[in-house]
C-alpha cells in the first residue's frame, strides 16, 4: 500500500526518540519532518538517523529567511543531505527565494506564506492588515514567480491558493488536526480530510501522532481515514 501524503513532524526531545518515531510511522506515511530545534541540537546527523534504512522522504523545515547570498549559502550547505523539501520564508522576497532554488536544484523549495500560529489580530500588529488569506495569496503568487515548487499555507487557505497557483505547485498544510485533537498553538486549523479535499498535497501532522501511546497506530489510522476521504473526493492516495 502506498504511504499516505502525510509529513510527520518529529518534534522530539532527543535524537533517539525522533528516530524511533520515524521508524514507527514510516510504513504508513510518505515523509518525516525535521524542524529547527531538532536540527540545531543534533546537526546533519539527524537526517541520516530519521531517514534510516527505509529511505523515507525528509522534509527539512528550517524556514530560512535572510539576505539572498546568506540563504543561498545555507541552502547549498544542507542540499548535500538530500532533503526532499526545504523551507524558506516567502516574506524574504523573490531574490531570496530564487537564490535558494538555484543553490539546491535537487531539493524542492517550499515557501512558507503565513505561519499557522498567526491570527488576523497578530498580523495586524505586525503591520499586515486584512484577513490572513489575502497575505497568503499575495505571497504565494510572489513565491511561485520566483521559482518555488511548493507552498506552505494553513488548511483554511489551501483551496484559494490552489485556485491562484494552479495544479502543478505542491501545497503543504500544517495546522492539520484530526477531529477531537487539541489545536494547541495553531490558530488556523482543519481536519486531514478537509485539507486534502480542498487541494492539499502533503499534510503536516505532529502531536496527534507523536503524542499518542502508539505513534505507528495513530499514523495508520489517520492514513486510512485519508484514503477513505480521497476515494470519496475522487483523488488518489
122 strand-pairing partners: none
CA dist., res. 98 & res. 93, Å (int): 9
Does residue 33 carry a catalytic annotation? no
Grid coordinates of 62: 528550517
- C-alpha dihedral over 146, 148, 149, 150, to 10 degrees? -140
**210 with 195: CB under 8 angstroms?**
no
Contacts of 50 (CB under 8 A, 6+ apart): 10, 18, 19, 22, 32, 34, 56, 58
Nearest residue to 105 (alpha-carbon basis) of 140, 79, 78, 141: 79
Alpha helices in 43-149 (DSSP H): 45-51, 68-79, 94-103, 120-125, 132-145
State how far the alpha carbon of 79 is from the alpha carbons of 44, 106, 108, in Å.
Answer: 11, 8, 10
State how far the alpha carbon of 209 is from the alpha carbons of 11, 91, 174, 216, in Å.
Answer: 11, 30, 13, 8
Active-site residue identified among 63, 82, 138, 227 = 63
Grid coordinates of 193: 480530510
Q: Which residues are catalytic?
A: 63
Amino acid at each position: 500500500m502506498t504511504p499516505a501524503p502525510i509529513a510527520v513532524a518529529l518534534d522530539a526531545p532527543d535524537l533517539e526518540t525522533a528516530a524511533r518515531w520515524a521508524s514507527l510511522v514510516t510504513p504508513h506515511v510518505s515523509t518525516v519532518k525535521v524542524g529547527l530545534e531538532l536540527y540545531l541540537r543534533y546537526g546533519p546527523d539527524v537526517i541520516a538517523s530519521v531517514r534510516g534504512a527505509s529511505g523515507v522522504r525528509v522534509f527539512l523545515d528550517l524556514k530560512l529567511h535572510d539576505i539572498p547570498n546568506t540563504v543561498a549559502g545555507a541552502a547549498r550547505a544542507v542540499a548535500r543531505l538530500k532533503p526532499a523539501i526545504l523551507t524558506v520564508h516567502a516574506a524574504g522576497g523573490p531574490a531570496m527565494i530564487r537564490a535558494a532554488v538555484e543553490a539546491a536544484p535537487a531539493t524542492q523549495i517550499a515557501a512558507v506564506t503565513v505561519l499557522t500560529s498567526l491570527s488576523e489580530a497578530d498580523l495586524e500588529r505586525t503591520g499586515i492588515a486584512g484577513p490572513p488569506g489575502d497575505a497568503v495569496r499575495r505571497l504565494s503568487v510572489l513565491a511561485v514567480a520566483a521559482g518555488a515548487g511548493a507552498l506552505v499555507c494553513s488548511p483554511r487557505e489551501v483551496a484559494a491558493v490552489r485556485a491562484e497557483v494552479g495544479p502543478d505547485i505542491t501545497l503543504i498544510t500544517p495546522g492539520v488536526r484530526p477531529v477531537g485533537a487539541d489545536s494547541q498553538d495553531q490558530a488556523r486549523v482543519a481536519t486531514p480530510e478537509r485539507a486534502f479535499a480542498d487541494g492539499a498535497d502533503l499534510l503536516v501532522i505532529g502531536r496527534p501522532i507523536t503524542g499518542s501511546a502508539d505513534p505507528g497506530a495513530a499514523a495508520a489510522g489517520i492514513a486510512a481515514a485519508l484514503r477513505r476521504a480521497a476515494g470519496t473526493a475522487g483523488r488518489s492516495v
